[in-house]
Copies of this chain bind each other. A is one copy, B any other.
Amino acid sequence: MKRNILLTIEYDGTHFHGWQRQPGTRTCQGELERVLSILCAQEITIEGTSRTDAGVHALDQKATLRGDFSIPAENIPPAANNLLSGGRNSSRDGDIRIVSAVEAADGFHARFSCRGKKYIYRIRNSRESDVFGRDRCWRISEKLDTDAMRNAAQYIIGTHDFACFQAAGGQERESTVRTVFGLDVIVAGDDIEIHIEGDGFLYNMVRIIAGTLAEAGRGRIAPEYIKEIIEGRDRTKAGPTAPPQGLYLAKVYY
């Protein structure tokens, strides 16, 4: 009988060429499939919820694993993590781990059953670079106006055609309409976190929104102009794509 296991996964994306399996490169999916194939004594493929890019982190990625194998679900995380951490032979060891594994209903699918996701984008707004945060946030030297960023965010919340926030190179999508449930700009000292929740996101959408809010914070885009950018459906009017190392897949909702 085929079993269906839901995995919760955490990773530091710095040393991965993104989520998706690619021959000859180190990817999250590839690493997980490698160790799960050992544990399950068969070739395993998994389906992840979000195909995060190189450098993007995950606090709560999900994946489903289907197959006919005998290992109890609760034994998968410790056994897999032991293989993934590799005894600290290099600084990459331990940069991905399976947080939990539970049996899921037969029809459940990590991506297709997903009802929404939350991402966090971290900005460090400081003239000083931060040697420990260099791979974990986007540093912006120029002082950002976080009130302007919050005002700009209000125009993004809701159901819109978000073609303006879609990068080329993603999958073909039937529709570019998405619903952003919430978009908060949270400030703690020099740290600015953008929290965004939605029913789905276009390719690079969160990074383009982060880049656009940063432009609003710099005073280069007026908050009201965001409405026009969205209505114009024109990627070139929005801000730049913020760098990957500030982005965290924070929560997947089913």
Contact = CB atoms under 8 A, between A and B. Distances in A.
B10 A94 contact: no
Given A97-B129, A129-B85, A91 B136 contact: no
Interface stretch (A11-19, A29-37, A113-121, A227-235): A11-19
A111 B53 CA distance: 45
B91 A15 contact: yes
A154 interface: no
Interface in A92-113: 93-97, 99
B94 A129 contact: yes
B95 A134 contact: yes
Contacts of A12: 131-132, 134
Interface residues of A, number: 24
A81 interface: yes
Contacts of A95: 131, 134
B11 A131 contact: yes
Contact of A134 (B94, B99, B131): B94
A135 interface: yes
A95 B132 CA distance: 7
Nearest to A136: B132
Contacts of A15: 91
A72 B80 CA distance: 54
Nearest to A243: B88
B136 A10 contact: no
Nearest to A15: B91
A129 to B, nearest CB: 6
A138 to B, nearest CB: 11
A10 B131 CA distance: 7
A11 B131 CA distance: 6
A88 B244 CA distance: 12
Given A129-B97, A131-B96, A132-B136, A14 B85 contact: no
Contacts of A243: 88
Contacts of A93: 134
12 contacts: A12-B131, A12-B134, A15-B91, A81-B129, A85-B129, A88-B134, A88-B243, A91-B134, A93-B134, A95-B134, A97-B131, A132-B136
Given A12-B132, A15-B91, A132-B136, 4 more contacts: A14-B91, A57-B132, A95-B134, A97-B129
